[in-house]
Structure 1
Amino acid sequence: MRALVSAGFTPRRVREMEPTIRQLTAAHLDTALAGGPTFDFIDFASKVPIDVISTMIGVPPADRPQLRTWSQQVIARGDGDTGIPNTMRQANNALAGYYTDLVTTRRTNPTDDLTSALLAAEVDGARLQVHDIVSVLMLLDIAGNETTTKLLGNAWCAAWRNPKQRDAAWNGNIAGWVEETLRYDSPGQMAARLLTTETTLHDLTVPAGSRMLLLIGSANRDPRVFADPDRFDIGRDTTAAIPFIVGPHFCLGASLARMEARIILEELVRRLTPEFHIDMAAATRAHNPNVYGFATLPTTVTLR
């Protein structure tokens, strides 16, 4: 199934999305600025990723705002919640229902989108079941939307808090801004794994069948790998960082997320001066163990 889905994220197909991403960014930024110099950066930043992933999946534009709301609710928890809130369950069920209907529609009316490709595909001589395809679409919806949104919010906040680094970003180092944010404040702070064989790590033998929680955020602040790791520095070498994991579970959408973040930040730098302000007293965090970032980020900007 991973091999099938990865066909939608080849370097060529991702590159082909660049004009669309830039056009979407410009349109959503126009809308954000139309109400004045103060807007919620997260509200703006969340609209481009959902449009991009929805285009790939085949979700009509009219349905995208509702899907964005549901995907936000799926990862939202109250401060201090230890269980799964009803809003999360309801949003999860709503997404499952929506994608079940979409798969049913594409079964009789296929197009050139990823949903139709999954319906036509075979794994070991068998077609994928509807529930398998729905699960993949829900994963792509949430992972392709919320993580990129949180990456952008974290990048925006880090630049505001570090004026010298912000100046370097406005002077052209957008790629470094994206990569250092992925290291310093990655939206994915941890990943769960199940050991299939007995494994020895740091002189500790862990039996097969054990569940392990890998702390990505901690690895990316490892002082043995990164000098002065708690300093935000967009000029540093980040090649050893692992924001998207490594090996067979490497994030399918890594190249798309990087490109989306780069284009959106490029358009912001092109249109705005570096003298923006974030109202941190009014900003709110998204409470979720898997996706780290802001739920709201009130920002006041100045046009070039």
Structure 2
Amino acid sequence: MDPPDHTRLRALVSRAFTPRMLERLRPRIEAITAELIAELPDEADLVSGFAYPLPVMVISEMLGVPPEDHERFRGWSETLARSLDPMLTAELISETGRARREFRDYFRSLVEHRRERPGDDLVSALAQLGELSESELLATCVLLLVAGHETTVNLIGNGVLNLARHGLLAQAARRPRQVVEEVLRYDPPVQLTSRNALEDTELGGVPVPKGTPVLALIGAANRDPAVFPDPGRFDVGRDPGRHLAFGLGIHFCLGATLARMEGEIALSALAAAAPKLELADPAPPYKANMVLRGLATLPVRLGR
């Protein structure tokens, strides 16, 4: 979406994502993190036991999604995330259509409930606005929930994997901000994104006519040696510079501040609680997704 509709919708939703508003969430994120770590057995899958539930619980509470409904949208969310891939099978296209319909039906019911009984949550706030059509409101709710956890799951999982592989987990407790920025650069949760040319242009000597879709490879840009010295080295002490993990320009990720906060809290708390953490599988499997790079499982031994 482009201006003016993009400008209007982003302005409405961004009220809930200002740094000041998100700082109010910090104590709750820290509490959820502590609870999840305390519940982990010594041998655990960090994706299902930690990296997945943390951002799901946070974005669900922000939106006003009841805890008992979290598992209902897990499958829908994973299907919609896979639909971002540039190569889609007929089967996945069919599954995506069904997931989108079921997701929208769920939020339609939740919006109706919140209009009658509004709470202190984002769905209630959006439902009270007269500036959104039903289609815009439902699409925005689905987008916020899917984008609000799928990528952060990958950030946490990729972070633990790379820190453990390089023996740098302790650094997450000492300088969480630098650690998160290097994870975002070195192993970004979003590997590529698409853009449409708004006018005739040229890239690398190749003509790009107006309206042409272009795939921008974020993962490659973040390893550009002209920007990052020794880009293939995982270095939590480096100046992260201008990595593109959250995009650039007017479409810069709305949830960047929230994702960074969740990543910093999650990785630093885990490092403090389980400093002897070891990978139980040195080469854990990844989800079948080209766009969103994340682990399917991450077996570890906490060594507590």
TM-score (norm 1): 0.89
The answer as to whether partners of 1:50 and 1:68 remain within 8 angstroms in 2 is: no
Counterpart of 1:210 in structure 2 is 212
Query: Are 1:45 and 2:51 matched, yes or no?
Result: yes
Question: 2:63–2:122: 8 Å Cα contact kept in structure 1?
Answer: yes
What is the alpha-carbon distance in structure 2 between the residues aligned to residue 23 and residue 142 of structure 1?
22
Sequence identity, in percent? 39
Give 1:76 shift. Answer: 4.7
State the match for 2:68 in structure 1: 62
8 Å contact kept, 2:190–2:245: yes
Q: 3-state DSSP class of the match of 1:296?
A: coil
Which of the residues 15, 18, 33 maps onto 1:10? 18
Superposed, 1:223-238 pairs within 5 Å as 223-238=225-240
Are the equivalent residues in 2 in contact too, given 1:157–1:278 (CA < 8 A)?
no
Say if 2:185 and 2:240, in contact at 8 Å, map to a contact too.
Answer: yes
Q: In the alignment, residue 192 of structure 2 is paired with which amino acid?
A: M
* Greater shift in the superposed pair: 194-203 or 8-17: 194-203
Root-mean-square deviation over aligned CA pairs: 1.8
Determine if the alignment matches structure 1 residue 175 to structure 2 residue 181.
Answer: no
Q: Of the candidates 27, 45, 52, which is equivalent to residue 19 of structure 1?
A: 27
Look up the match of 1:74.
Answer: 80
Task: Report if aligned partners of 2:277, 2:300 keep a CA contact under 8 Å in 1.
Answer: no
Contact 1:223–1:229 (8 Å) recurs in 2? yes
Q: Secondary structure at the match of 1:262?
A: helix
Cα distance in 1 for residues equivalent to 2:172 and 2:186: 15
Q: Conserved in 1, the CA contact under 8 Å of 2:193 and 2:215?
A: yes
1:302 aligns with 2:300: no
Q: Where do residues 116-265 of structure 1 align in structure 2 (5 Å cutoff)?
A: 116-122=124-130, 127-163=131-167, 165-170=168-173, 172-265=174-267
Where do 5+ consecutive residues of structure 2 fail to align? 1-8
Using the TM superposition, give the Cα deviation of residue 87 of structure 1 relative to its aligned residue in structure 2, in angstroms: 4.6
SS at structure 2 position matched to 1:294: coil
Assess if the C-alpha contact under 8 Å between 2:170 and 2:275 holds in 1: no
Q: Once structures 1 and 2 are overlaid, which stretch shifts more, 176-185 or 113-122?
A: 113-122
Asked whether the 8 Å contact 2:172–2:268 carries over to 1, the reply is: no
Query: Is residue 151–residue 189 contact of structure 2 (8 Å, CA) maintained in 1?
Result: yes
The residue matched to 2:135 in structure 1 has which SS? Answer: helix
1:113 aligns with 2:125: no
* Cα distance, 1:21–1:168 mapped onto 2, change above 3 Å: closer
Matched letter for residue 54 of structure 1: S
Q: Give CA-to-partner distance per residue, 1:179-205, whole Å, 9 cap, x none.
A: 101001001111111111122333444
**Cα distance per residue 1:81-100 (max 9 Å; x no partner):** 84143554443332222111
Give 1:119 deviation, angstroms: 2.2
CA distance in 2, matches of 1:269, 1:167: 6
Q: Secondary structure at the match of 2:52?
A: helix
Of residues 199-208 and 237-246 in structure 1, the stretch that sits farther from structure 2 once superposed is 199-208
Provide the rounded CA distance (Å) in 2 between the counterparts of 1:93 and 1:299: 37
Structure 1: distance between partners of 2:260 and 2:76? 24
Q: Is the 8 A contact 1:276 1:301 kept in 2?
A: yes
Q: Write out per-residue CA displacement over residues 89-121 of structure 1, whole angstroms, 9 at most, x where no aligned residue.
A: 443332222111111212222223211222233
1:291 is the counterpart of 2:292: yes
- Please state whether the residue corresponding to 1:260 is helix, strand or coil: helix
Partner AA of 1:145 in structure 2: H
Bigger mean CA offset, 68-77 vs 190-199? 68-77
Paired letter, 2:115: R
Q: Which runs of 5+ in 1 are unaligned?
A: none
Quote how far apart the aligned CAs of 1:240 are.
1.6
CA deviation string 1:269-288 (max 9, x = no partner): 1211244223145x321112
- 8 Å contact from structure 1 (residues 160, 278) kept in 2: no
